[in-house]
Amino acid sequence: MVLAPVTPPREDSSDDANAVAAGAARGEGKRAYVQQMFSDIAPRYDLLNHVLSLNIDRAWRRRALRALAWNARPNGTYLDLCAGTLDVGATLTRERAFGGFVVGADFAVPMLQHGAGKAPTAVLAPVGADALALPFASGSMDGAIVAFGIRNVADLDAGLREVRRVLKSGARFVILEFSTPPIGLVRAGYHAYFHHVLPFIGRIVSGHRSAYTYLPMSVSHFPTEERLAEHLRSAGFAQVTWERLTLGVAAIHVGVVA
């Protein structure tokens, strides 16, 4: 399934662009904004991820993959949701005991295109697909993971239900996402970096006026760890657990299909 190319953005002022980003973070026109924005920043996405996270994002992804417990079904089929440039899926295919197959689904097709070549197509297939309408049969996946993408889904609850639909009984769903540190001093430094330094560097390197303004705003509007766990339970996931990473900068949630 390949989506139609996104429409090139019109030239807005920085203030206009930031206003649109703020609206998208609140849910106003979110789907169209997110699809266009990630398509625009695809060429520099990997570089910025590693630079802006001080390379900690690699360790976070590896920890999230361990939480997926794929070794219980090493020959299974796994979904890398909101796959972007396929970093997570490619990392999984390189695990020594992994003998299965990964589908990397994202509706920003240029992101998938920039991830091409990270793993052979025999083990990792990119699929242009919306997280709210996945083109996979019910109960067809042995597990699913989403890294820094679930907050960008236009309807969180519908997205969680759709993931549950495509998972087999006993399959795990792992969410790796940014969060807000609970410790006051850490939170102050985090906000200073996230709302001032990160947008400045991101704008210069990516050339996009609002993408890295949208990022901290989207995190601010995303549910807390406790609330996200409740959303998972409401979507039908059982044995829901979560853990904070790096003083609460990010968190991993895990839910199991009963």
Average pLDDT on 74-101 reads 98
Judged against a pLDDT cut of 90, whether residue 7 lies above it is answered with: no
What CA–CA distance (Å, rounded) separates 230 from 29? 25
Alpha-carbon distance of 150 to 106, in angstroms, equals 11
Q: What global pTM score does this model have?
A: 0.90
Residue 244 to residues 36, 175, 215, 228, 251, Cα–Cα distance (Å): 30, 12, 19, 13, 4
Give 99 or 204, the one with higher predicted confidence: 99
Domain that includes residue 185, residue range: 1-258
Determine contact, residues 228/215, Cβ cutoff 8 Å.
no
Which CATH number characterizes residue 200's domain?
Answer: 3.40.50.150
Total domains in the fold of the chain:
1
Average predicted confidence (pLDDT) for the chain: 91
pLDDT of 4 > 60? The answer is no
Of 187 and 7, more confident? 187
Residue 173 near residue 144, CB atoms below 8 Å: yes
Evaluate whether 240 touches 173 at the Cβ level (below 8 Å): no
The whole-number pLDDT of residue 210 equals 87
In whole angstroms, what is the distance from residue 206 CA to residue 42 CA?
9
Average pLDDT on 247-254 reads 96
9-56, pLDDT tens digit by residue?
A: 444 445 566 787 778 778 878 999 999 999 999 999 998 888 888 889
For the chain, give the number of residues.
Answer: 258
Q: What's at 169, amino acid-wise?
A: S
State residue 2's pLDDT score. Answer: 39
E-strand ranges in the chain read 77-81, 101-106, 124-128, 141-147, 167-178, 237-245, 250-257
Q: Rg of the chain over CA atoms, in angstroms?
A: 17
| pLDDT over 70 at 125, yes or no | yes
